[in-house]
Amino acid sequence: MLKGILNYAHYLLEEAIKKDETVIDATCGNGNDTLFLSKLVGEQGKVLAFDIQKEAIAATKLRIIEHERTNVSLIHDSHGNISKYLRADKDEKISGAIFNLGYLPKSDKKIITKPDSTITAIDTILKHLRRDGLIVIVVYHGHEGGKEEKEAILKHLFHLDQKKYSVLRYGFINQKNDPPFILAIQKKAD
């Protein structure tokens, strides 16, 4: 059976991430992916969860408290600044990351992810990604500014070295209203 977009995103991450590793939720939103990642890496693992909106950080905090998760660091900052939260020596390896692009559901639709900060975040994570590590990007593009971000990211990922990275696009083509799709980047070599 074909998996829905979010189920497939989680399936890919389950295949790549192991217990006790460090992972990133680049857009924590309402905390669903943060909680998923927290359980995936276990108590000895570490989740760095980013969002620019106080509402997202608050919602995620409630979710992780409700589920008694202690391995999450909530960071009220742009994912474009991820490098400030990782060791510069590249010894801190990331096994997986997820982005949900667009806007926070049930909030101000004018506050959206932007191409420049998203591409900066992707490139930063790629520098720290361990071999066989995975970045999953759920691209919501049916809002104002979404098509520009989608095109910029596709163009950027198209030029990644195929000897170092495999890039997948997964989505349904017979759905209306600009259905979301997944971009997944797996690191093959350093």
Query: For the structural domain made of 5-187, what CATH number should be given?
Result: 3.40.50.150
- Residue 103 is predicted with a pLDDT of 86
- Residue 89 is predicted with a pLDDT of 60
The encoded tokens of residue 47 equal 């989740």
- Residue 105 is predicted with a pLDDT of 82
- Residue 165 is predicted with a pLDDT of 98
| Three-point CA angle 130, 141, 100, nearest 5° | 35
The encoded tokens of residue 95 equal 């096994």
End-to-end Cα, the chain, rounded Å: 34
- Residue 90 is predicted with a pLDDT of 57
3-state SS of 157-184 is: HHCCCCCCEEEEEEECCCCCCCCCEEEE
- Residue 24 is predicted with a pLDDT of 98
Residue keyed to tokens 């590249």: 90
Collect the ranges in the chain with pLDDT lower than 50: none
Residue keyed to tokens 């030029």: 159
The encoded tokens of residue 67 equal 């589920």
Residue pLDDT, tens place only, 113-136: 999 999 999 999 999 999 999 999
139 forms bridges with which residues in the sheet?
181
Domain coordinates in residue numbering, the chain = 5-187
Sequence-ordered strand ranges (E) for 26-128: 46-51, 72-76, 94-100
106 forms bridges with which residues in the sheet?
none
Residue type, 157: L
- Residue 64 is predicted with a pLDDT of 97
- Residue 92 is predicted with a pLDDT of 76
* Contacts of 153 by beta carbon, 8 Å cutoff, 6+ apart: 101, 115, 118, 119, 122, 137, 139, 183
H/E run at residue 22: strand 22-25
